[in-house]
Amino acid sequence: MTAITRTASYALMLLSIAGVARAQERPYFVTYDDHVEERGEWELSVLSTTAKARDEGTRYVAPWIELEYGVTSKWTTELYLESTTFRGDGSAFTGWRLENRYRPIKGEHLFNPVLYIEYESINEASRIEKEIVGRGPLPVEPIRSLAEQHANELEGRFIVSSWFGNLNVSENFIVEKNLSHDEGYEFGYAVGVSWPLRGTWDGECRFCAGALTPALEVYGGLGTTGADASGATRQFVAPVISWHLTRGSMFRASAGFGVTSSSDRFMFRVGYSIELE
């Protein structure tokens, strides 16, 4: 069984044992807004990143699943399982992540802060691109070699989300530290803007403008404190469209474009999220 097949099997197993509730997943892929799950609510997302690295890099597909749970009304925790396939080079399971988000202030304010910390047990073949940090292009060694280079990492984010009616503007500042190697700190950012096409979705129509939420993300690296860092930072501009299929599910798609010499030429993402009872 390939890494991609295993990832898909886990997702289907979880879907088969759960009911459906109301979906509230954020419309972005990299940027986080102020949304946290209600206490006791579960959410399952199945996503994938497909990209083409520049120059001698190869095309890859990286699927992953997210299982999210509302521990309290302010605290959400999330488990990730990820894998990747390099075209013409094979597949690998690339690791797991445990994420926690805490929203300290209830209610809606001009600025809604969220604190984020994530532990990552992954290898160098990881390609889900959930965050872009540091500088320089992705490594281009064969997948077998990259999968043997394991790392434990800690990622923190300071998230600020603002609402102007139905318009959302969210900013993330990212700091990442490799706990397995002395590489200094890596920095990154993500900014997202989204606005439903027609007010608030009423949950009744599927094929109408109200079910669609366009968004735009801009994200990339902000350098590193490591002395051995070289190359330009990776920067992306990515239009996103979210489609509420039902009250309990949402489909997302994004086409990202690299704008620096170290960035992947393109980055296509798709995702399906469903609230579980």
User: Which among 246, 147, 262 has a CA at the least distance from the CA of 203?
Assistant: 246
What letter does residue 104 receive in the DSSP assignment? -
3-state secondary structure 156-185: EEEEEEEEECCEEEEEEEEEEEECCCCCCE
Per-residue pLDDT tens digits for 165-222? 989 999 999 999 999 887 889 999 999 999 988 766 666 777 788 889 999 999 999 9
Which helix (H) or strand (E) covers residue 254, if one does?
Answer: strand 249-258
What letter does residue 42 receive in the DSSP assignment? E
Q: How far apart are CA 103 and CA 34, in angstroms?
A: 7
pLDDT > 80? residue 22: no
Q: How far apart are CA 275 and CA 277, in angstroms?
A: 7
- Beta-bridged to residue 70, according to DSSP, are 76
User: Which among 186, 58, 198 has a CA at the least distance from the CA of 125?
Assistant: 58
pLDDT > 80? residue 161: yes
pLDDT > 50? residue 47: yes
- Phi, psi angles (nearest 5°) of residue 33: -100, -160
CB atoms within 10 A of CB 259: 12
> How far from the centroid of its chain's Cα atoms is residue 256's Cα?
13
Higher pLDDT, 113 or 58: 113
Question: What was the pLDDT predicted at 200?
Answer: 64
Across 80-88, average pLDDT: 95
Domains annotated for the chain, with CATH where assigned, are 3-276 (2.40.160.40)
- Cα angle 35, 41, 42 (rounded to 5 degrees) comes to 90
pLDDT band at 11 (very low <50, low <70, confident <90, very high): very low
Question: What was the pLDDT predicted at 229?
Answer: 56
Q: How far apart are CA 183 and CA 177, in angstroms?
A: 8
User: Which among 168, 264, 176 has a CA at the least distance from the CA of 214?
Assistant: 168
Per-residue pLDDT tens digits for 23-45? 457 899 999 999 999 999 999 99
pLDDT > 80? residue 274: yes
Across 61-81, average pLDDT: 97
Share of the chain above pLDDT 70, in %: 86
Mean pLDDT value across the chain: 87
Question: What was the pLDDT predicted at 17?
Answer: 39
Question: What was the pLDDT predicted at 188?
Answer: 97
Q: How far apart are CA 21 and CA 205, in angstroms?
A: 17
183 contacts 227 by C-beta, under 8 angstroms? no
Question: What was the pLDDT predicted at 75?
Answer: 97
Q: Among 12-16, 80-84, 225-229, where is mean pLDDT lowest? A: 12-16
pLDDT > 80? residue 9: no
Give the dihedral of Cα atoms 228, 85, 64, 239; nearest 10 deg.
80
Question: What was the pLDDT predicted at 57?
Answer: 66
Across 269-276, average pLDDT: 94
pLDDT > 60? residue 7: no
